[in-house]
């Protein structure tokens, strides 16, 4: 309650085959003792059903930045052939905000941000 689960959604085609591979669902006000905000990763199967993959993306511990307030999958930013994901945390760094880059792979998003 109060996590704003589903505040932002983003579909991701990791391998650019015109089929959705992942659905990202944000909960920017999800609270834990050392951080605020999470993004939950769901995968699609061949029948177009989706389920929770077990992967949760988070930002820097200790920040109250509303991680997941914005989601985008604009391009293959690191040139490895897989789409990458940008996640915004507008209140991090005392309100200056941060953008995290999570790199895509053959079947999943790397749960550790690259930048």
- What is the residue-averaged pLDDT of the chain? 91
Q: What is the pLDDT of residue 47?
A: 74
Size of the chain, expressed as the number of residues it contains: 115
- pLDDT category, 1, cuts 50, 70, 90? low
State the Cα–Cα distance between residues 86 and 101, nearest whole angstrom: 5
pLDDT tens for 78-94 read 999 999 999 999 999 88
Q: What is the pLDDT of residue 93?
A: 87
Burial (Cβ within 10 Å: 0-12, 13-18, ≥19) of residue 59: buried
Over range 24-41, report the average pLDDT: 91
Q: What is the pLDDT of residue 42?
A: 94
CA-to-CA dists, residue 87 to 29, 47, 55, angstroms: 14, 28, 15
């Amino acid at each position: 309650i109060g996590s704003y689960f589903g505040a932002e959604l983003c579909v991701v085609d990791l391998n650019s085959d015109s089929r959705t591979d992942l659905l990202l669902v944000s909960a920017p006000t999800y609270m834990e003792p050392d951080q605020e905000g999470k993004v939950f990763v769901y995968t699609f199967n061949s029948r177009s059903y989706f389920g929770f993959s077990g992967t949760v993306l988070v930002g820097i511990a200790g920040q109250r930045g509303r991680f997941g307030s914005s989601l985008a999958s604009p391009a293959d930013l690191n040139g490895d052939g897989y789409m990458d994901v940008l996640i915004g945390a507008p209140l991090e760094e005392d309100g200056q905000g941060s953008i995290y880059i999570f790199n895509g792979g053959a079947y999943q998003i790397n749960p550790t941000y690259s930048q």
